[in-house]
Amino acid sequence: MADKSQLGMVQVFWGNGKGKTTAALGTALRACGNGYTVHLIQFMKNGTGDFEIDYPGELKALETFNNFSVRRFGTGSWVIGKPSKAHLGAVKEACDYLISCFGKYDIVIADEILYAVQMGLLTEEEVILIIGRKPNNQELILTGSHKPLTNIFEKADLVTEIKKIKHPYDSGTMARKGLEY
């Protein structure tokens, strides 16, 4: 049985490098293997219109665990420029849902919530209020953003910057099935 007395921290994975969601899902994999319940809430990961890319291998793999679940939000399109009312509505729906998950799972991952802040769909203050509502015995993992969000970082227990040194995208290599999705 999982030792739930160790739970309660807020973890952040941010930066301009590849691997923020991967780091959070690695934590999910470890937690599932140790008997914790993990729920992934994806704020903005279904915008390409290509089901194979929008439903990546890591979700297919993690969903084989009976103690892992996922719910995805978004409009099916990327935020370009000023956010639309539809994008704002989808993020509000995701935030309301996130709060409703408090107390139901051992670990909740709010994937791309920090990009929602970076893109003007949420404010740092709104995320801080969400953090404040988290139960003491539940872990919360936040991912996203290329820009530092200092006020959120101050509230977190763990902040990891994932920094790009070199990336194949820069030379025109597109995402590869089984490696990037």
Per-residue pLDDT of the chain (181 residues; tens, 9 = 90+): 688 899 999 999 999 999 999 999 999 999 999 999 999 999 987 667 777 777 889 999 999 999 999 999 988 788 888 889 999 999 999 999 999 999 999 999 999 999 999 999 999 999 999 999 999 999 999 999 999 999 999 999 999 999 999 988 888 888 888 888 8
Q: Distance of CA 147 to CAs 13, 90, 95, 144, Å?
A: 12, 22, 20, 9
Vertex 22 angle, CA 139 and 146, to 5°: 90
CATH architecture of the domain covering 4-171 = 3-Layer(aba) Sandwich (3.40)
For the chain, the domains span: 4-171
pTM above 0.85, yes or no: yes
Local structure of 94: helix, strand or coil: helix
